[in-house]
Amino acid sequence: MPLYKNSKQCLGVIHLDVDGTLSDLQWVKLVHLKAAQNLGCTGFHTSGRIDSDIAFPFLREHKETIIGEAEESLEELKKESLRKDNILADIKIEKERGKYVLAEDVRSYIKTLATAQKALLRTLLTQDLPPKLKGLDTPQITKMMDEVVEEVCKEMREMKP
Protein backbone atom coordinates (compact mmCIF):
# COMPACT_ATOMS: atom_id res chain seq x y z
CA MET A 1 0.00 0.00 0.00
CA PRO A 2 1.14 3.57 -0.60
CA LEU A 3 2.59 6.23 1.62
CA TYR A 4 0.20 9.21 1.74
CA LYS A 5 1.49 12.78 1.82
CA ASN A 6 -1.00 13.96 4.44
CA SER A 7 -4.27 13.18 6.23
CA LYS A 8 -6.40 14.78 3.54
CA GLN A 9 -4.88 12.62 0.81
CA CYS A 10 -5.26 9.54 3.00
CA LEU A 11 -8.92 10.30 3.72
CA GLY A 12 -9.50 10.70 -0.01
CA VAL A 13 -8.79 7.02 -0.59
CA ILE A 14 -9.33 5.25 2.73
CA HIS A 15 -13.07 4.77 2.25
CA LEU A 16 -12.75 2.69 -0.91
CA ASP A 17 -11.01 -0.62 -1.54
CA VAL A 18 -8.82 -1.14 -4.60
CA ASP A 19 -11.78 -2.64 -6.51
CA GLY A 20 -13.91 0.46 -5.83
CA THR A 21 -16.14 -1.07 -3.15
CA LEU A 22 -16.62 0.55 0.22
CA SER A 23 -13.86 -0.42 2.61
CA ASP A 24 -14.19 -1.46 6.22
CA LEU A 25 -12.54 1.87 7.09
CA GLN A 26 -15.35 4.08 5.82
CA TRP A 27 -15.97 5.20 9.43
CA VAL A 28 -12.58 6.96 9.55
CA LYS A 29 -12.56 10.75 9.65
CA LEU A 30 -9.76 13.23 10.31
CA VAL A 31 -10.46 13.15 14.05
CA HIS A 32 -9.95 9.37 14.01
CA LEU A 33 -6.60 9.67 12.26
CA LYS A 34 -5.51 12.16 14.91
CA ALA A 35 -6.77 9.86 17.67
CA ALA A 36 -4.84 6.91 16.20
CA GLN A 37 -1.73 9.05 16.09
CA ASN A 38 -2.27 10.10 19.72
CA LEU A 39 -2.69 6.44 20.67
CA GLY A 40 0.80 5.70 19.38
CA CYS A 41 0.26 4.37 15.87
CA THR A 42 3.69 4.43 14.23
CA GLY A 43 2.21 4.82 10.75
CA PHE A 44 2.06 8.58 11.26
CA HIS A 45 5.32 10.39 10.57
CA THR A 46 6.30 13.79 11.95
CA SER A 47 6.45 15.05 8.37
CA GLY A 48 2.70 14.43 8.10
CA ARG A 49 3.06 11.38 5.88
CA ILE A 50 0.95 8.32 6.62
CA ASP A 51 2.19 4.79 5.98
CA SER A 52 -1.00 2.89 5.16
CA ASP A 53 0.68 -0.52 5.72
CA ILE A 54 0.99 0.39 9.39
CA ALA A 55 -1.86 2.87 9.92
CA PHE A 56 -4.75 0.96 8.30
CA PRO A 57 -4.27 -2.27 10.30
CA PHE A 58 -3.91 -0.16 13.46
CA LEU A 59 -7.20 1.61 12.67
CA ARG A 60 -8.95 -1.73 12.17
CA GLU A 61 -7.48 -3.31 15.30
CA HIS A 62 -8.18 -0.34 17.60
CA LYS A 63 -11.47 0.90 16.11
CA GLU A 64 -13.44 1.13 19.36
CA THR A 65 -10.61 2.79 21.27
CA ILE A 66 -10.02 5.27 18.45
CA ILE A 67 -13.71 6.17 18.23
CA GLY A 68 -13.83 6.63 22.01
CA GLU A 69 -10.68 8.77 21.98
CA ALA A 70 -12.06 10.87 19.13
CA GLU A 71 -15.35 11.41 20.95
CA GLU A 72 -13.46 12.43 24.10
CA SER A 73 -11.36 14.84 22.05
CA LEU A 74 -14.46 16.35 20.49
CA GLU A 75 -16.11 16.65 23.91
CA GLU A 76 -13.03 18.41 25.27
CA LEU A 77 -13.06 20.80 22.31
CA LYS A 78 -16.75 21.51 22.88
CA LYS A 79 -16.15 22.11 26.60
CA GLU A 80 -13.22 24.42 25.84
CA SER A 81 -15.30 26.28 23.27
CA LEU A 82 -18.13 26.65 25.79
CA ARG A 83 -15.69 27.95 28.44
CA LYS A 84 -14.39 30.54 25.98
CA ASP A 85 -17.94 31.53 25.01
CA ASN A 86 -18.75 32.00 28.71
CA ILE A 87 -15.66 34.15 29.23
CA LEU A 88 -16.62 36.31 26.24
CA ALA A 89 -20.20 36.61 27.54
CA ASP A 90 -18.89 37.65 30.97
CA ILE A 91 -16.63 40.27 29.39
CA LYS A 92 -19.55 41.61 27.34
CA ILE A 93 -21.74 41.89 30.44
CA GLU A 94 -18.98 43.62 32.42
CA LYS A 95 -18.34 45.98 29.50
CA GLU A 96 -22.02 46.91 29.42
CA ARG A 97 -21.85 47.55 33.19
CA GLY A 98 -18.93 49.88 32.55
CA LYS A 99 -16.27 47.75 34.19
CA TYR A 100 -14.29 47.35 30.95
CA VAL A 101 -13.54 49.94 28.33
CA LEU A 102 -12.22 49.26 24.84
CA ALA A 103 -8.57 50.23 24.39
CA GLU A 104 -9.50 52.33 21.36
CA ASP A 105 -11.99 54.32 23.47
CA VAL A 106 -9.27 54.94 26.08
CA ARG A 107 -6.80 56.10 23.41
CA SER A 108 -9.41 58.41 21.94
CA TYR A 109 -10.27 59.85 25.37
CA ILE A 110 -6.60 60.41 26.24
CA LYS A 111 -6.05 62.15 22.91
CA THR A 112 -9.08 64.39 23.51
CA LEU A 113 -7.90 65.12 27.04
CA ALA A 114 -4.37 65.97 25.89
CA THR A 115 -5.69 68.27 23.14
CA ALA A 116 -7.95 70.10 25.61
CA GLN A 117 -5.12 70.36 28.12
CA LYS A 118 -2.78 71.79 25.50
CA ALA A 119 -5.34 74.38 24.41
CA LEU A 120 -6.04 75.43 28.00
CA LEU A 121 -2.35 75.69 28.89
CA ARG A 122 -1.61 77.68 25.74
CA THR A 123 -4.40 80.15 26.55
CA LEU A 124 -3.42 80.53 30.18
CA LEU A 125 0.33 80.72 29.61
CA THR A 126 0.41 82.92 26.53
CA GLN A 127 -2.62 85.20 26.98
CA ASP A 128 -4.02 85.28 30.52
CA LEU A 129 -0.94 84.90 32.69
CA PRO A 130 1.75 87.20 31.21
CA PRO A 131 0.00 90.48 32.05
CA LYS A 132 -0.70 89.24 35.58
CA LEU A 133 2.95 88.30 36.14
CA LYS A 134 4.34 91.71 35.16
CA GLY A 135 6.17 93.28 38.08
CA LEU A 136 5.79 90.30 40.44
CA ASP A 137 8.65 88.78 42.38
CA THR A 138 9.56 85.08 42.32
CA PRO A 139 7.35 83.92 45.24
CA GLN A 140 4.34 85.71 43.75
CA ILE A 141 5.00 84.23 40.30
CA THR A 142 5.34 80.77 41.88
CA LYS A 143 2.01 81.21 43.66
CA MET A 144 0.26 82.27 40.46
CA MET A 145 1.80 79.35 38.53
CA ASP A 146 0.59 76.95 41.23
CA GLU A 147 -2.91 78.39 40.79
CA VAL A 148 -2.68 77.81 37.02
CA VAL A 149 -1.61 74.20 37.59
CA GLU A 150 -4.55 73.66 39.95
CA GLU A 151 -6.95 75.25 37.46
CA VAL A 152 -5.73 73.00 34.63
CA CYS A 153 -5.95 69.90 36.84
CA LYS A 154 -9.48 70.86 37.97
CA GLU A 155 -10.58 71.31 34.34
CA MET A 156 -9.12 67.93 33.40
CA ARG A 157 -10.77 66.15 36.37
CA GLU A 158 -14.16 67.57 35.43
CA MET A 159 -13.85 66.68 31.75
CA LYS A 160 -16.13 63.81 30.76
CA PRO A 161 -15.28 61.23 28.10
Cα–Cα distance for residue pair 148/119, rounded to 1 Å: 13
pTM: 0.45
SS3 (DSSP) at 53:
helix
- Encode pLDDT of 2-26 as tens digits: 788 878 888 877 877 766 667 788 8
Residue 80's pLDDT band, with cuts at 50, 70 and 90, is very high
CA distances 152 to 135, 144, 146, 155, Å, are 24, 12, 10, 5
